[in-house]
């Protein structure tokens, strides 16, 4: 008989380790479960992920984190979406907003009605029907979570923050809730001879930590999931060929923008993430097409403020473990896979893993059927995010560098092919209900990348022309009303969540 799960060991700190710790401490509690996190200050955390997606608010809510407080603590700003510059072609830019275009009607999305209106000669841009895009454009922000006004759209947002400060905050609340932190570098693991379960990990210096259940948050190395269990890796670098990133913070050059900017470069793309006190920058590139030195020089020459540190290079392989959960080890975060930060999904995939681990948390031992279910679901999550990311690269008019020629012409997954074809013909994106990126996101990116649908869903013809115009005008009115009532992003931050370090300055 398997034994009851009592001792949980989290291997590795960083964003993923402490997110797991804080969530387990809050939901399982530390009365019946003994939660230990082992990390080494000698091992740096990766922490490139400074931008998030709106789902993080759910996590914070579950863990019991006050929004204004965590924003103050992490120098956070609000994020309304991502601007993609030069992705479709040089000089072009589009916005992938959180939130919605217009209002869905008759069971189909607003975009079909907009397509109908446009084909009939309507000249108003679809982006005018999205409040986040408009607010981003005007650098405004307002938190509308408690606003019951149904005439105006609510504002959807995420955060741009310092991930290492986020981890630090999570560590603080985890320890308050009784999570035990052990400093040390893991050198070995012992397995049960019979079951193969990991029984303990050994630290440098000989200390041993026993556990019933291990969460592997050890980063790219995958200390348990790969080094012990040889889970294997689905290598997706043929379709997502970027494999390095060089990151550097710089001084801010003005009030922080309420959005992240992604600028396409010759062999990848560059992020710009504005925080309250500085701006995060990085060039994500493929080492096959540009050298580290060249990429670093390119990054440094395109900063809009003084660099505040030496550039740091990270290396990775896009892909995911073939199995995320093996026996009593589940891998979360980078140890489980990495899809590159283009749509800020790293933290979200950690969160998805946590939610699933909690939902399937073993009581009296590990159920193999649940483990299989978990592995299938996690793989599905990564797989669909992957397709969305590929679409950014593949649907483009750029043909000015070998990198873009490669991604534009590369072989893509059949399911993605089908989607692009359907979108081209009738503006539908074939989104699954449980998919992270919904129809709105697919529409924003595919249309933004230059794929213009020839038709639209026939249901969009069901209302009269006058009625359509009236509805469009009403939707647009609501957006304008909302926009008129929004303060500047900086102004909102100042009264809601100004970082302490900045307030005294």
Partner 1 sequence: MSKPVETIVIVGRDAALWLTALGLQRAYGRAGVEIKAIELPTLLQPHDVLSALPTASGLHGLLGIAENNVFRFAGASYALGQRFAGWSGSRPPFMHAYDSTGTRFGHVDFVHFWQKARLSGMNVPFENFSIGAVAAAQGRIADLRESATPFSKASQGFNLDALSYVHLLKAYALKSGIAHTQGLLQEVTIADGAIGSVALSDGSVHDGDLFVDATGPEAALIGQLGGAAPDSWDHLYPCNRMMALAGEPLSPLPSYSQVQAFRGGWLGMFPLQGRTALVAVYADDELSDDDMMETVPVLSSMTVSGNAVVSTLNTGLRRDAWVGNCIAMGDAAVQLEPLDAVSLHSLHIGLSLLVDHFPGTAGAMPEARLYNRKFASHMENIRDFQLAHYRLNQRYDEPVWDRARHQETPERLAYKLGTFKATGQVPDYDDETFDKENWISIMIGHNHLPDQYHPLVDGVAEAELMQRFQAMLNFIAEEVSEMTSLSAHMELYAPQKPRSSF
Q: Which of 474, 485, 500, 501 binds partner 1 (CB under 8 A)?
A: 474
Q: How far is the CB of 85 from partner 1 (least distance, A)?
A: 8
Burial label, 177 (beta-carbon count in 10 A; 0-12, 13-18, 19+):
middle
Q: Which is nearer to partner 1, 60 or 133 (CB)?
A: 133
Considering only residues 129-188, where is the footprint of partner 1 by CB under 8 A?
133, 136-137, 149, 151
Contact between 493 and 274 under an 8 Å Cβ cutoff? The reply is no
Q: Does 125 bind partner 1 (CB under 8 A)?
A: yes
**234 beta partners:** 320
The DSSP 8-state label assigned to residue 374 in this structure reads: H
Q: Which is nearer to partner 1, 92 or 277 (CB)?
A: 92
Segment near partner 1 (CB under 8 A), from 27-35, 47-55, 216-224, 464-472? 464-472
**Mapping DSSP to helix (H, G, I), strand (E, B) and coil, where does residue 207 land?**
coil
Q: How far is the CB of 60 from partner 1 (least distance, A)?
A: 28
**Mapping DSSP to helix (H, G, I), strand (E, B) and coil, where does residue 124 land?**
coil
Catalytic amino acids? 79
Segment near partner 1 (CB under 8 A), from 283-291, 311-319, 365-373, 468-476? 468-476
Phi then psi dihedrals of residue 262, to 5 deg? -120, 120
CA 273 to CA 278: how far, in whole Å? Answer: 9
Considering only residues 83-112, where is the footprint of partner 1 by CB under 8 A?
83, 93-95
# residues near partner 1 by CB under 8 A: 26
CA 24 to CA 21: how far, in whole Å? Answer: 5
Q: Which is nearer to partner 1, 261 or 457 (CB)?
A: 261
Q: Does 472 bind partner 1 (CB under 8 A)?
A: yes
Q: Does 481 bind partner 1 (CB under 8 A)?
A: yes
349 is in an annotated binding site: no
10 is in an annotated binding site: no
Q: How far is the CB of 447 from partner 1 (least distance, A)?
A: 12
Q: Does 451 bind partner 1 (CB under 8 A)?
A: no
Q: How far is the CB of 264 from partner 1 (least distance, A)?
A: 14
Q: What angle do CA 37, 39, 40 make, to 5 degrees?
A: 160
CA 441 to CA 392: how far, in whole Å? Answer: 11
Segment near partner 1 (CB under 8 A), from 214-222, 385-393, 449-457, 471-479? 471-479
Of 177, 213, 102, the C-alpha closest to 477 is 102
334 is in an annotated binding site: yes
347 is in an annotated binding site: yes
CA 447 to CA 94: how far, in whole Å? Answer: 9
Contact between 392 and 284 under an 8 Å Cβ cutoff? The reply is no
Q: Which is nearer to partner 1, 38 or 136 (CB)?
A: 136
Q: Which is nearer to partner 1, 127 or 218 (CB)?
A: 127
Contact between 141 and 155 under an 8 Å Cβ cutoff? The reply is yes
Q: Which is nearer to partner 1, 95 or 285 (CB)?
A: 95
Q: Does 480 bind partner 1 (CB under 8 A)?
A: yes
Segment near partner 1 (CB under 8 A), from 24-32, 120-128, 346-354, 392-400? 120-128
DSSP strand pairing (312-315 vs 244-251)? antiparallel
Place of tokens 């890796």: 233
**HEC string for 412-466:** CCHHHHHHHHHHHHHCCCCCCCCCCCCHHHHHHHHHHCCCCCCCCCHHHHCCCHH
DSSP string for residues in 341-405: STT--HHHHHHHHHHHHHHT--SSS--HHHHHHHHHHHHHHHHHHHHHHHHHHHS----SSHHHH
Contact between 272 and 341 under an 8 Å Cβ cutoff? The reply is no
Burial label, 420 (beta-carbon count in 10 A; 0-12, 13-18, 19+):
buried
Q: Which is nearer to partner 1, 138 or 372 (CB)?
A: 138
Q: Does 128 bind partner 1 (CB under 8 A)?
A: yes
State the binding site for 7-chloro-L-tryptophan. Answer: 79
State the binding site for FAD. Answer: 334, 347
State the binding site. Answer: 79, 334, 343, 347
State the binding site for L-tryptophan. Answer: 343
| Binding site residues, partner 1, CB under 8 A | 83, 93-95, 122-125, 127-128, 133, 136-137, 149, 151, 469-470, 472-474, 476-477, 479-481, 484
């Amino acid at each position: 008989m398997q034994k009851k799960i009592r001792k949980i060991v989290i291997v590795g700190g960083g964003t993923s380790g402490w997110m797991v710790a804080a969530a387990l401490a809050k939901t399982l509690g530390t009365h019946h479960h003994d939660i230990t996190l082992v990390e080494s200050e000698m091992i740096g955390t990766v922490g490139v992920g400074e931008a998030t997606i709106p789902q993080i608010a759910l996590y914070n809510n579950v863990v019991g984190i006050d929004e204004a407080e965590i924003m103050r603590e992490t120098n956070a700003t609000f994020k309304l979406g991502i601007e993609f510059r030069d992705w479709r072609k040089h000089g072009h830019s589009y916005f992938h907003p959180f939130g919605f275009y217009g209002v869905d009607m008759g069971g189909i999305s607003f975009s079909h009605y907009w397509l109908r209106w446009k084909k009939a000669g309507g000249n108003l841009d679809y982006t005018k029907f999205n409040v986040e895009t408009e607010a981003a454009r005007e650098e405004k922000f307002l938190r509308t979570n408690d606003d019951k006004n149904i005439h105006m759209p609510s504002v959807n947002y995420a955060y741009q923050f310092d991930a290492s400060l986020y981890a630090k905050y999570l560590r603080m609340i985890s320890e308050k809730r009784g999570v035990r932190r052990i400093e040390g570098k893991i050198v070995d693991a012992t397995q049960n001879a019979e079951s193969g379960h990991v029984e303990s990990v050994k630290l440098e210096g000989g200390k041993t930590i026993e556990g019933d259940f291990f969460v592997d948050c050890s980063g790219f190395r995958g200390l348990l999931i790969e080094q012990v269990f040889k889970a294997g890796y689905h290598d997706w670098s043929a379709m997502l060929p970027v494999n390095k990133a060089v990151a550097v913070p710089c001084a801010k050059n003005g009030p922080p923008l309420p959005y992240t900017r992604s600028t396409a470069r010759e062999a990848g793309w560059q992020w710009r993430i504005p925080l309250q006190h500085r701006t995060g920058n990085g060039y994500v590139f493929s080492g096959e097409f540009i050298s580290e030195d060249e990429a670093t020089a390119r990054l440094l020459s395109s900063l809009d403020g003084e660099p505040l540190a030496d550039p740091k290079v990270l290396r990775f392989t896009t892909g995911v473990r073939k199995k995320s959960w093996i026996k009593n080890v589940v891998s979360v975060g980078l140890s489980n896979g990495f899809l590159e930060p283009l749509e800020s999904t790293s933290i979200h995939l950690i969160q998805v893993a946590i939610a699933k681990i909690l939902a399937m948390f073993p009581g009296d031992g590990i159920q193999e059927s649940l483990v299989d279910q978990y592995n299938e679901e996690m793989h599905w999550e990564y797989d669909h995010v992957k397709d969305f990311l590929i679409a950014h690269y593949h649907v483009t008019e750029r043909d000015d560098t070998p990198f873009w020629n490669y991604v534009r012409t590369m072989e893509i997954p059949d399911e993605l092919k089908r989607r692009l074809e359907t979108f081209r013909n009738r503006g539908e994106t074939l989104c699954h209900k449980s998919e992270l990126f919904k129809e709105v996101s697919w529409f924003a990116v595919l249309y933004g990348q230059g794929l213009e649908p020839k038709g639209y869903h026939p249901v969009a013809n069901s209302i009269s022309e006058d009625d359509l115009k009236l509805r469009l005008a009403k939707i647009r009115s609501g957006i304008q009303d909302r926009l008129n009532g929004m303060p500047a992003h900086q102004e909102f931050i100042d009264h809601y969540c100004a970082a302490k370090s900045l307030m005294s300055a």
